[in-house]
Chain A
Amino acid sequence: MEAQSDFQVDLGHLMAFNPHHSFPSQPSSRDELVKECLQKGTELVQAIADSLFHLPSTEDVDGPLVKLPPPATRLPREKHFPTPKPPTKWELFAQKKGIKKRKKDKVVFDEQSETWKRRFGYDRANDEEAIPIIEAKPNDDPNEDPFAKRKENKKKRIEKQESHRLKNLKQAAKAGALPSHIQLAATALPITGTQAAPKKVTKDELGNVAGLAATATASGGKFDKKLPGEKAAAHKGKYRKFLPVVEGSGIGSREKEQTEKIMNKIFSKNSHEILNIDKAVKTYNVKKEKKQKSEKSKAASATGGKLKPQKKIQKNPSKKGGSKKGKAK
């Protein structure tokens, strides 16, 4: 058919492509189509194998080992491009002012101890909180504790920074470029790519949460301390539901249904007893015995005298009546 060298072999993906092949417009039958596909496929696989063996190989325990070249065909991207993050407030400011980022050292020279200490962490350089004496300034308030004041200031700075960080994240979320670890942590936010709206817990659901948690206790939350304003659990007392006592004028449809269902179940369970095999067998046996008896009695009467004492006591002379009463209408 076509020359094998016409195949495009991409060893990086272990792929072979035949650009010259065309299927006939109307394939004759499914089986023939399958056969032809298999044939063409084997040719392509043969081409891949040939190319593999042309590569330089190294010896290994299991056989020759070949390093595949980088793939020639570029496969399309599976997921879309991530949206670019909007610049944070600081980044905007820095851009405007022309502030460049500077590389910081891990260790800094500490004036106090005149040694090189790390920039942050345990035993850091120029630690604010490690100052034992603070010199008082003339305009200082004597009732004010400067150490406490320093601590407060630090806290405020941290809070401020946190609020800025959250604002930046909100901006990023608005643009759809939230960093993935934040995305995962914030379960209220939708996964990147989906259009699902964040699920809001309704007031009723929140109200039931306490009740749900209460079922974990052994006493069902009966003695749990309730918060001020918390209402009692909705599902108290009744745990079984019965059919109504009187529906309509007596039996309702639901009760009728239930009794029907159970009755049918019982009947079907015992339906194998409708055909009374024992009775059939017995009547047959009785008939047979009677026949035998009549024959033997004939033989006996020929010899004379009773040979067999009567063992059976007449128990049911009204066999027919009993069985008739037993049958259902």
Chain B
Amino acid sequence: MRPLDETETTAVFEKLFKFVGNNLKNIVENPSHEGPDSNSGRYCFRLNKNKIYYVSESLVKRATNIARPNLVSLGTCIGKYTHGGSFHLTVQALNLLAANAKHKVWLKPQSEMSFLYGNHVLKSALGRITENIAPGDGVVVFSMSDVPLGFGVAAKSTQDCRKLDPNGIVVLHQADIEGSQKSSQPQHI
């Protein structure tokens, strides 16, 4: 485990910024209430074996007691570095993103399963969409009951969405919670 250096931090923050925009400040300076200390420390990013973890300070301090080869994971893993050096967000970042997302998309109940199986979001599946999405922005996908389902990249702006035909792709799928909600969610035919 080690802290990120400048290039790595820039990569992570850029990716997060695409999804949360100026709320990045909230993520970075989030006061954490874990640990025995009464004064809340902050959350920090740590790198272990090409994976980036979002951990509270108190947890980090305690995790230093575990040797590097033995340490598997700490806090929440928000993403990982690929072999080529680029940073990808993984689904475990969903909670963090959903709380601070700037651009959101709500899916119709019938099309939720399609998204959870890994398909892109078509226009016919859209229930609601926030204004002013530019193509290439990060978008968090919700169900109509405001349960975060996953996230992706906007393929078209909100304006263009209106003019699209119903089978056009609106959001490119990047990550979803798969079947982890299957048992709790009622199945739709």
Contact of A245 among B2, B10, B13, B101 (CB under 8 A): B2
- By beta carbon, the residue of chain B nearest A282 is B159
Q: Which of A117-125, A199-207, A299-307, A317-325 lines the interface with chain B?
A: A317-325
Interface membership of B58, Cβ < 8 A: yes
Does the CB pair A258–B13 fall under 8 Å? no
- By beta carbon, the residue of chain B nearest A254 is B3
Does the CB pair B9–A262 fall under 8 Å? yes
Does the CB pair B25–A250 fall under 8 Å? no
Q: How many B residues have CB within 8 A of the partner chain?
A: 43
Distance to closest chain A CB from B2 (angstroms): 5
Contact of A315 among B57, B102, B126 (CB under 8 A): B126
Interface membership of A312, Cβ < 8 A: yes
- By beta carbon, the residue of chain B nearest A317 is B128
Does the CB pair A326–B103 fall under 8 Å? yes
The CA-CA distance from A327 to B24 in the complex, in Å, is 11
Interface membership of A270, Cβ < 8 A: yes
Residues of A within 8 A of B58 (CB): 249-250
Interface membership of A255, Cβ < 8 A: yes
Distance to closest chain A CB from B166 (angstroms): 10
Bitwise, A270-286 to B at CB < 8 A (1) or not (0) is: 10000010110010000
Interface membership of A313, Cβ < 8 A: yes
Residues of B within 8 A of A328 (CB): 21-23, 25-26
Does the CB pair B14–A250 fall under 8 Å? no
Interface membership of B73, Cβ < 8 A: no
Given A242-B2, A316-B131, 14 more A-B residue pairs with CB atoms under 8 Å apart are: A245-B2, A246-B57, A249-B61, A250-B44, A251-B44, A251-B57, A258-B6, A263-B25, A263-B28, A315-B126, A315-B162, A322-B104, A325-B130, A328-B21
B interface residue numbers (CB < 8 A to A): 1-3, 5-6, 9-10, 13-14, 17, 21-26, 28, 37, 41-42, 44-46, 56-58, 60-61, 64, 101-104, 126, 128-132, 158-159, 161-162
10 A-B pairs in the complex with CB atoms less than 8 angstroms apart: A242-B2, A242-B3, A245-B2, A246-B60, A250-B60, A255-B3, A266-B24, A325-B102, A326-B103, A326-B132
